[in-house]
């Protein structure tokens, strides 16, 4: 790869402006379509900076919150493009599906990560040396020009190019020698697309904890080439010879959980969360639906406060989802208090006299943690939880047990959905 001549950035500028609505997501998708074929495959690895984003889609915050869905993206791309032309883009979209499905099979990896972040934050509070090194990294004061620039970019925009995320994570783990969980937590708090599966598992992949003996090392040459010379870090700062982190047991591979189905004839409340904000495509009749509410999990991402840009996107997305669902169902939407999900859901069920709450399946992450806690309280009160699962996830996830290369075989099935 390093023998190639770098591709210079295009002359026209294009910056991402993340407006948290489905309409904005659909517009971004339609504007990106002409570039989703061979141009994407050829140029996608270049990080030309925040003003030159024409080589990638910027769809991740929309897909992450399911303001637009993977099947919509596939269908739209396969309108103007042959599958063979758009393969590279379709595969990237499928990476998200793969990570989500894989974490469903290995939920202990998420639970371990959550415990480790809390432990690491506490340990840092007791270690002035670690705290100083951490603060330098998250304030963009390490003296490594590219790393510091990416830190500022992430905090200001809520976004980093995929390649920058890989270099950043690699420098964090192998050059700065900081705990990977604290880096993953920093990303999760600030990314507008911050996602339990894609983020945690990508950090683990860089560290060498996803595939044994395979880690990702940033090199000066690769950074120079794929930033088209914007950055040229000093060689002594970048350890491109480090060993992967010590392999950890993944815990048992678990079966995908049974999904509790909708019971007809019950007084039902529809709950929207930031895991799936496209209720217009939920396979659901409106009969018996008497109440509509929304909760946002932005503040549950970490024991440390979420970044403002990321938080605002998730909150805005929930508002947008609620207003669309309200129009669809002819119901007045309610924003429940995000501070205490269990109390909010119990109070909502009591006030509305609900016998059933229907929501979209929440994969491993903060939403599924809180829903599980709430339903331990609601079930004894006689409130049934029903979950809607999308055919996309049902088709793809059973195949996400090994590596992405095995998972790829399911993509033709997803194309036909």
Ligand X SMILES: Cc1cc2nc3c(=O)[nH]c(=O)nc-3n(C[C@H](O)[C@H](O)[C@H](O)COP(=O)(O)OP(=O)(O)OC[C@H]3O[C@@H](n4cnc5c(N)ncnc54)[C@H](O)[C@@H]3O)c2cc1C
Q: What is the per-residue binding string for ligand X in 206-245, x denoting contact by CB under 6 A?
A: x---------------------------------------
Nearest-angstrom CA–CA distance, 290 and 336: 16
Instruction: Indicate which single residue of 28, 64, 81, 311 sits in contact with ligand X (rule: CB under 6 A).
Output: 64
Among 102, 172, 186, 203, interactor with ligand X by CB under 6 A: 203
Q: For every residue of the chain, which 3-state class applies, written as one string? A: CCCCCCCCCCCCCECCCCCCCHHHHHHHHHHHHHHCCHHHHHHCCCCCCCCECCCCCCCHHHHHCCCCCHHHHHHHHCCCCCCCCCHHHHHHHHHHHHHHHHHHHCHHHHHHHHHHHHHHHHHHHHCHHHHHHHHHHHCCCCCCHHHHHHHHHHHHHCCCCHHHHHHHHHHHHHHCCCCHHHHHHHHHHHCCCCCHHHHHHHHHHHHCCCECCECCCCCHHHHHHHCCCCCCCCHHHCCCCCCCCCCCCCCCCCCCCCCCCCCCCCCEEEEEECCCCCHHHCCCCCCCEEEEEEECCHHHCCCCCCCHHHHHHHHHHHHHHHHHHHHHHCCCEEECCCCCHHHHHHHHHHHHCCCEEEEECCCCCHHHHHHHHHHHHHHHHCCEEEEECCHHHHHHHHHCCCCHHHHHHHHHHHHHC
CB nearer to ligand X: give 169 or 371: 169
The CA R_g of the chain, rounded to the nearest whole Å, is 22
Site membership for ligand X, residue 392 (CB under 6 A)? no
202 binds ligand X (CB under 6 A): yes
Instruction: Point out which span in 87-95, 103-111, 304-312, 402-410 binds ligand X (CB under 6 A).
Output: 87-95
Q: How far is the CB of 262 from ligand X (least distance, A)?
A: 28
* Nearest distance from C-beta of residue 239 to ligand X, angstroms: 17
With binding defined as CB under 6 A, does residue 198 bind ligand X?
A: yes
Q: For residues 22-51, which are near ligand X according to CB under 6 A?
A: 44
Q: How far is the CB of 164 from ligand X (least distance, A)?
A: 8
* Nearer CB in complex with ligand X: 155/384: 155
Q: How far is the CB of 179 from ligand X (least distance, A)?
A: 14
Which is nearer to ligand X, 191 or 293 (by Cβ)? 191
Q: Does 411 bind ligand X (CB under 6 A)?
A: no
With contacts defined by CB under 6 A, how many residues of the chain interact with ligand X? 28
Pick the closer one to ligand X by CB: 60 or 389.
60
Name the token pair of 384: 């049934």
399 makes contact with ligand X (CB under 6 A): no
Residue range at the interface with ligand X (CB under 6 A); choices 5-13, 94-102, 233-241, 405-413: 94-102
Binding mask 157-176 for ligand X (x = CB under 6 A): ----xx--xx--x-------
What is the closest distance, in whole angstroms, from the C-beta atom of residue 95 to ligand X in the complex?
A: 4
CB atoms within 10 A of CB 11: 6
Binding of ligand X at residue 93 (CB under 6 A)?
A: yes
Indicate whether 110 belongs to the interface with ligand X (CB under 6 A). no
Among 56, 154, 345, 411, binds ligand X (CB under 6 A): 56
The residues binding ligand X (CB under 6 A) are: 44, 56-60, 63-64, 92-93, 95-96, 99, 161-162, 165-166, 169, 187, 191, 193-195, 198-199, 202-203, 206
């Amino acid at each position: 790869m390093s023998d190639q001549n770098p591709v210079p950035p295009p002359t026209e500028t294009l910056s991402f402006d993340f407006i948290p609505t489905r309409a904005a997501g659909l517009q971004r998708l339609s504007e990106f379509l002409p570039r989703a074929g061979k141009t994407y495959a050829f140029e996608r690895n270049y990080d030309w900076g925040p003003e030159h984003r024409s080589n990638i889609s910027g769809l991740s915050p929309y897909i992450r919150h399911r303001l637009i869905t993977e099947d919509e993206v596939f269908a739209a791309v396969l309108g103007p493009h042959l599958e063979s032309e758009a393969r590279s883009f379709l595969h990237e979209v499928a990476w998200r599906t793969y990570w989500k499905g894989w974490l469903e099979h290995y939920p202990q990896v998420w639970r371990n990560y959550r415990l480790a972040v809390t432990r690491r934050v506490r340990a840092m509070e007791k270690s002035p040396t670690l705290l100083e090194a951490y603060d330098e990294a998250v304030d963009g004061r390490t003296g490594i020009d590219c790393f510091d620039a990416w830190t500022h970019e992430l905090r200001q925009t809520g976004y980093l190019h995929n390649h920058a995320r890989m270099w950043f994570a690699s420098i964090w783990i192998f050059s700065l020698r900081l705990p990977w969980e604290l880096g993953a937590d920093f990303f999760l708090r600030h990314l507008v697309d911050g996602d339990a599966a894609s983020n945690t598992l990508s950090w683990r992949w860089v560290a060498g904890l996803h595939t044994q003996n395979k880690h990702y090392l940033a090199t000066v040459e690769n950074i120079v080439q794929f930033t088209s010379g914007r950055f040229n870090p000093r060689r002594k700062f970048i350890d491109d010879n480090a060993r992967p982190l010590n392999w950890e047991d993944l815990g048992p591979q678990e079966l995908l959980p049974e999904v509790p189905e909708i019971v007809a004839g019950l007084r039902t409340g529809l709950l929207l969360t930031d895991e799936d904000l496209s209720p217009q495509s939920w396979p659901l009749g409106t009969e018996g639906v008497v109440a509509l509410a929304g909760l946002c999990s932005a503040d549950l991402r970490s024991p440390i406060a979420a970044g403002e840009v990321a938080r605002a996107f998730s909150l805005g997305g929930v508002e947008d989802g609620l207003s669309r669902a309200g129009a669809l169902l002819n119901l007045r939407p309610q924003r429940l208090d995000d501070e205490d999900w269990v109390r909010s859901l119990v109070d909502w069920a009591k006030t509305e006299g609900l016998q059933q709450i229907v929501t979209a399946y929440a994969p491993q992450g903060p939403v599924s943690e809180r829903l599980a806690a709430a339903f331990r309280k609601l079930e004894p009160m006689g409130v049934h939880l029903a979950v809607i699962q999308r055919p996309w996830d049902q088709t793809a996830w059973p195949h996400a047990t090994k590596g992405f290369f095995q998972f790829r075989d399911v993509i033709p099935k997803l194309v036909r959905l």
